[in-house]
Structure 1
């Protein structure tokens, strides 16, 4: 099974850096600069992991994550909430995200948190 990650962020620099790093690690990466039609976008790609920005247009990361977690076929996809907001832990909890990553982040930290949630999901599924 290919490793797939879907990144929702409106910062093109973050999207391109994350894409480059994760593709180097063997991930298939898809990005979106908004969360319009989020359920359809996620279903079409079916990632192992989702990175969700707090300030993603149009509804924001909290509502977007809550929307995904309400869908029976999508609720078990780990969502990593990432933001420069100083209240990220509380926002991630409110959203129902599986974990969070503070911006700016270390690239090794990005890889580690994605690998951890992907491995945790794999372990639970088997």
Structure 2
């Protein structure tokens, strides 16, 4: 069975470490990027089963990076979990066309629950 791959766009190394611990505990191989300007190239290289996108990721930001993915014929079916400390995270995730969102700060259980939900195709 092929190991699932998660691609995480997060510029805070401490938060990135949390994602890595949770995702690896769920059986994922984790690739990450601290910028979003090359989002399509990173997805092409990683071929992820899941993308976690931070709102404030440098260069083009999470909304635009997610929109690029969702407009792409090949990548638009990859589930994207949109994460932000912004109080408007729900509307930002809708604008981005993400599959689900998670507000920071979050608990590890909330993170794992949203990952499972987005992989199953439910949005919360």
TM-score by length of 1: 0.92
> Which residue of 2 is the match for residue 38 of structure 1?
39
Question: d(CA) in 2 for partners of 1:56 and 1:4?
Answer: 20
Whole-Å Cα distance in 2 between the matches of residues 78 and 13 of structure 1? 23
User: What is the Cα deviation at residue 18 of structure 1?
Assistant: 1.0
Deviation at 1:75, TM superposition (A): 0.2
In structure 2, the residue matched to 1:84 is 85
SS at match of 2:121: helix
Equivalent residue of 2:22, what SS?
A: helix
1:26-65 aligned within 5 A: 26-65=27-66
Shift of residue 37, structure 1, vs aligned partner:
1.2
Q: Map Cα deviations across residues 80-117 of structure 1 (whole Å, 9 max, x no partner).
A: 11000000001000011111000011101111111121
Match of 1:124 in 2: none
Cα distance in structure 1, aligned partners of 2:38 and 2:18:
24
Q: Which moved more, 1:15-24 or 1:51-60?
A: 15-24
Q: Secondary structure at the match of 2:81?
A: strand
Q: How far 1:27 sits from its partner (Å)?
A: 0.9
Structure 1's consecutive aligned runs of 4 or more residues displaced over 3 angstroms after TM superposition are none
SS of equivalent residue, structure 1 residue 52: strand
| 1:34 CA displacement | 0.3
TM-score normalised by L of structure 2: 0.93
**Aligned-residue CA RMSD (Å):** 1.2
**Gapped regions of structure 1 (runs ≥ 5):** 122-126
Quote the Cα distance in structure 2 between the aligned partners of 1:117 and 1:62: 18
